A and B are shown apart, each in its own frame.
Chain A
Amino acid sequence: MVQNKALHRVLYAFLVILLIPTYYPVAMMILNSLKGTKDYYANPLGWPVSLVWHNFVAAWNGVHVYFWNTVFVGAVSVVLGVSFAAMSAFVFARYKFRGKALLFVLYLGLLMIPGLLVLVGLFLEIKTFQLLNSWWSLILPYTAGSQAFGVFILRAFFTSIPEELFEAGRADGASEWYMFLRIGVPLAMPSLGTVAILSILGVWNDYLWPTVALNTSNMFTISAGIMQFASSFGVIVPGGQVFAAYLIGTIPVLVLIGFTMKYYLAGLLGGALKL
């Protein structure tokens, strides 16, 4: 490794130069979220003249419906999505049977199907089954959405469990399902957590699909809902409240990722490297 003080000063300087614009939008969002409407227009960049905490009350009143919608849709689709992915991954990892490679190609093939190709066809399918404007129109695609990376990540983990554990269970007469629940699932908790985090973020960050599948905004999830809230003011946006809503949309994600950084990064890289 190069040991050179002058070089290191330059490196630190570059680091600071990178960090300032990286965090500027965050700082600006926080400052603006506390400004009153007049203050915001007079002075969109500087510090707030007085802190208007009421912005958060108004923003919460505007987006709490979307927040609870997201909690509901997210909870159902993450529980279903992670469970189904784990069950499927377990079979792929622990059993040998004819046609297994062929079935796994179905999952690999998902990597070749871009969302663009699915979008119109999925809309027409949901429309044909008359599920538009229902919770199913969100829950079903989100549950399916976690299968590809979920199966990749969990199969890799289940493969790493020593066979002896299962043989011991089998010798004691345990059923395969029982061993999945009592040996596989408890050991896989960190990987299951990783898949759950990625799934929740997928639901939280999705703007497009709720606006396509739902024609009234009262069932929107948070991303579509915040945009709805921001544009509901028409051309003149009372900036403070909108930035407060942005902050409300950011904080839960920041807390989630903050506490689970290790699993989140593992999932992000694990999912990507499977490609």
Chain B
Amino acid sequence: MDNIPMEDYRSREFPSAREEAKQVTGKARRATGRIRVPWWMMLPSLLLIVGLYYYPSVNTLYYSLFNWNGFSAPSFIGLSNFASYFSSSTLGLEWRHQAILTVGMMVIALVVPLAAAELVQRLVHYRLAYVAKVLLVVPIAMPFIVNIGTWSFILSPNGPINQLLRIVGLGFLANGWLANSHVALYAILGIGFPWVAGLPFLLYLGGLQNISHELYDAFYLETRSFWQRLFRVDLPMIRGQLRLVIILTIIGSLQGFVTILILTNGGPGYATQVPGLTMYTDAFTNDQYGLGAAIGTVLFVVIVVSTLLYMWLDRRWGSGTE
């Protein structure tokens, strides 16, 4: 986040062009006068982000202090929405589910796409490695809703997983994967198996392919161990990518309630209830907009705090090992 060039980008990237530009600017100024910055060109974009991101965000924070059903006038109730959310009977349950999902998604996003990227990177034939990369990436094109719909069939009682289990004689394991309250949450984690087609895989592979052959060759003289190379060369070299994936997974897992909304709506019972879904249900099903806004606020705070906490830990831990 701190690597974005702000003011001095031109001097960094085009030192000579800048010098030249100075001279040309001098000439141009004499010919046509001062350059007029076309401010107005920024206006539509700025209005859009202020009006449709900043204003609604403040709106959420504001209405979290009100009791409003959308029809009668909103009434100010202080922190009552927060109080009623924190004393709700499903609070512990839904955050426990959230923790399981976040940790599970994190492990998946850090391990599986990385293994696939290591695999593709080791394919010696350049063309084959490219074909493998494209084949593993193309399923990104599957629209979200199609993915969910297909997986709801795969996980259904007569779906492919159960059929396969019966064929290999493990029929006793067959399950209504999304209907059984003991396994539904884990079944949701399983969606997308083998979890390769996605941004993490692309990021890891891009990072690994940027590592110079000289570095590998030098390391190869020292040891041929796969694990040594993984932990001492590859992982340190793609630390930026790992960091990005961790942050995106924290945010994505907290926002990922739409999958659950479509597949189980939090059920069976409360077996897959998560905070994001509670926010959605309170706001848009029960018309308790203030309560929904309060839960949205809580989730926002959790996202910001956990992201900052992670970045702090990363900096401490990182400076300790390097």
Contact = CB atoms under 8 A, between A and B. Distances in A.
A21 B50 CA distance: 43
A226 B149 contact: yes
Contacts of B213: 1
Nearest to A152: B4
Interface string A114-134: 111111111111010000000
Interface in B204-230: 206, 213, 216, 220, 224
Given A101-B7, A177-B41, A25 B31 contact: no
A144 B119 contact: no
B73 interface: no
Interface stretch (A47-55, A188-196, A253-261): A253-261
B255 A91 contact: no
B320 interface: no
Contacts of A95: 35, 37-38
B145 A121 contact: no
A171 interface: yes
A46 B92 CA distance: 44
Given A113-B53, A117-B297, A272 B199 contact: yes
Contacts of B48: 84, 140, 143-144, 147
A275 B244 contact: yes
Nearest to A237: B153
Nearest to B216: A1
Which of A44, A258, A274 has the most CB atoms of chain B within a 10 A radius of its CB? Answer: A44
Contact of B296 (A1, A15, A116): A116
A42 to B, nearest CB: 11
A223 B144 CA distance: 8
Given A97-B37, A159-B13, A226-B146, A268 B202 contact: yes
A176 B24 CA distance: 16
A107 interface: yes
A144 B55 CA distance: 12
Given A11-B119, A21-B194, A163-B17, A254 B141 contact: yes
Contacts of B163: 44-45
Interface stretch (B95-103, B173-181, B231-239, B276-284): B276-284
A18 B137 contact: no
A268 B136 CA distance: 15
Contact of B45 (A88, A227, A254): A88
B318 interface: no
A104 B254 CA distance: 27
B56 interface: yes
10 contacts: A18-B119, A29-B150, A91-B41, A114-B300, A120-B59, A144-B49, A205-B143, A230-B149, A268-B199, A269-B203
